[in-house]
Every structure is written in structure tokens, then in C-alpha cells.
Amino acid sequence: MSPSVEQTMGRAAAALAKPKRIDPSRPIKIGVDLGTAFTVIVITDAHGKPLAAANKFADVVRDGIVWDFAGAMGVVRELKDHLEQVTGRTLSAGAVTIPPDVSISDSRAHHYVLEGVGIECTAVVDEPTAANAVLGLRNGAVVDIGGGTTGVAILRDGEVIATSDEPSGGTHMSLVISGAFKIPFAEAEARKVNVGLQKELLPVVRPTMQKIATIVRDAVAGQGVERIHMVGGTSAFTGFAEIMADITGIPSEVAPEPMLVTPLGVADWARPVTESGSV
């Protein structure tokens, strides 16, 4: 029996908390998510089971586009080196995410970031489609709320029939917190992700969340979407699913470990490799 999404994401969280050594003969796949706030690398086995993961906050992508190429390479190299040390494996090939509707020229930057640190890029996949490799939805909408953009993929009979992406996300919420409390952006970001403070912050960020939900409402209008599935770190903010449902009029839920869903899913497109080479 295949593991449930909850079980899979529980394993992903454990892989992030305590990555372990991986047998050299075991085929692995690598997924890289270059997010506006966090960059994440996930290692799975050939069947998609999470084995190890690492993440880091980095301001190297804005509105879904790599603006600091050297910085992006630096953070991916740091995560790669860390995972290679703890797992004993060489990260030689992998797949990377992009927001939906990113131009070919902009998506090349994501590709080149991987190539620049010695990871052969075998696929470039839009974020909501990557997320659905984990969620396995037949119908509905996957909404990936990242730091800088909100991506939407509409599924019908298991196929993605429409995608969209708009520049609004968690970074905008942090900017609002920063302005409201007159604190540096880094402190605002830290407060935003502190679950214990989110109830207090909700009135401050509610308008931004409503704007994001309005983007989703417009993206799914007329598509017969019956349920919205939210992924991306920003979606975990307390009360966001309720606001999404209120604005869109569609039942909405947040996936388990939402920040890890997309990087885990994109690994599905990577070529499996062992220490001796491709499988």
C-alpha cells in the first residue's frame, strides 16, 4: 500500500530534521526549490521516499526570478555540501522548480544555478505541478504560496489544464509587519514564522492574505474547482486556509509540511543515480 500524503510528509520533515547516511548503491533523486524566502534541497530514493533534506533562508529570488545569481549558487552549494557530508553521497543530478508562466529565458537561470554548482539539471518543473506529484490530486487546484509569488495549477482528471502566477506572497506579509511595528525586515520575517505570534499578527497581515486569496479566486473562476490545496511555507500561517475559503468560496486546506511539498515533488522528475553513475 502506498503511504498517505501525511506519512510521506512526516518522513520529509524527519529527513530535514535528521538527514542520515545513504548507502552508495541506493539510487537517489534530487529536488531543488529556489524559493523567494527559502531554498530547499530534498533527496529521495528512486520511488520518492524522502531520505534527507536541507533548507536555508536566502534573498536570491524575487517574484520568481533569480536576481542574485552568485548568491543563489552560493546557497545551493552550501546546502549541497552539507547534504553530501551528512549522507555520504554526491549530488550529481537533479530537477529544479520555477513558478508557473516564467519565461524560457528566466527559467534558464534556475537551470544554470544547478549546473553552476555541479548538479546536472535534468528537468525544470513549475511549482504547483511539482507539488501535485506528492498530493496526487485528480481534480481541484494546487496553490503554491511562496515568498514572492502565488502560483496556481488547476487539475482535471489528473491533468494540469491551466496555470498562473502572480507576484504576491509571504515576503509582502513580512514587509507589512516590518512597517506596522517599525522593525527590520529580518525581525519581521522571524515574527511571521513564529507560530506563537501568528494570532496576534493576523489582523496586520489579513489584507495581504486577502489579496493573495483574491488572486486565487480570479485564477480559478469558471473552472469548476471544488477544493483548494495550499502548499508553500506561507500557507502555513495560522488562519490562512480560512481566509482563502472565505474569499474564494471554495473549501481550502493546507498540506502537511507545506514548505517541503514542492521540493519533494520536483525530485520525481530527476534522474536516479548511484555513486557509480546513472541508473
Q: Indicate which CATH number applies to the domain containing 270.
A: 3.30.420.40
Task: Based on the fold, state whether residues 142 and 240 are members of the same structural domain.
Answer: yes
For 174, half-sphere exposure in the C-beta direction (CA atoms, 13 angstrom radius) is 22
Neighbouring residues of 201: CB distance < 8 A, sequence distance ≥ 6: 177, 191, 192
Expressed as residue numbers, the domain containing 101 is: 5-131+261-278
Neighbouring residues of 226: CB distance < 8 A, sequence distance ≥ 6: 139, 140, 250, 251
Task: Based on the fold, state whether residues 9 and 114 are members of the same structural domain.
Answer: yes
Phi and psi at residue 141, to the nearest 5°: -130, 135
Neighbouring residues of 84: CB distance < 8 A, sequence distance ≥ 6: 90, 91
Task: Based on the fold, state whether residues 112 and 194 are members of the same structural domain.
Answer: no
Residue 140: exposure state from Cβ atoms within 10 A (0-12, 13-18, ≥19): buried
Number of domains making up the chain: 2
User: pLDDT at position 1, please?
Assistant: 39
**What is the C-alpha separation between 193 and 55, in angstroms, rounded?**
15
CB 90 within 8 A of CB 75: no
Task: Based on the fold, state whether residues 125 and 229 are members of the same structural domain.
Answer: no
**Conformational region of residue 277, where left means phi above 0, alpha means psi within -120 to 50, and beta covers everything else:** left
CB 13 within 8 A of CB 259: no
Task: Based on the fold, state whether residues 252 and 205 are members of the same structural domain.
Answer: yes
User: pLDDT at position 2, please?
Assistant: 56
Distance, CA of 22 to chain centre: 24
Angle, helices 185-192/170-181, rounded to nearest 10 degrees: 110
**From residue 19, how far is each of 134, 250, 261 by CA, in Å?**
20, 37, 17
Q: What is the full per-residue pLDDT of the chain (279 aa) written as tens digits? A: 357 999 999 999 999 999 999 999 999 999 999 877 789 999 999 999 999 999 998 878 776 678 888 888 999 999 999 999 999 999 999 999 988 777 666 778 889 999 999 999 999 998 888 999 999 999 999 999 988 889 899 999 988 899 888 888 898 999 999 999 999 998 999 999 999 999 999 999 999 999 999 999 999 999 999 999 999 889 999 999 999 999 999 999 999 999 999 999 999 999 999 987 666
Task: Based on the fold, state whether residues 148 and 225 are members of the same structural domain.
Answer: yes
Task: Based on the fold, state whether residues 127 and 12 are members of the same structural domain.
Answer: yes
Q: What's the pTM? A: 0.87
Instruction: Select from 30, 49, 16, 33 the least CA-distant residue to 274.
Output: 30
Task: Based on the fold, state whether residues 103 and 218 are members of the same structural domain.
Answer: no
Residue 245 grid cell: 475559503
Neighbouring residues of 78: CB distance < 8 A, sequence distance ≥ 6: 56
User: pLDDT at position 279, please?
Assistant: 64
Task: Based on the fold, state whether residues 85 and 63 are members of the same structural domain.
Answer: yes
Residue 24 grid cell: 552508495
Task: Based on the fold, state whether residues 17 and 83 are members of the same structural domain.
Answer: yes
Task: Based on the fold, state whether residues 25 and 121 are members of the same structural domain.
Answer: yes
User: pLDDT at position 18, please?
Assistant: 93
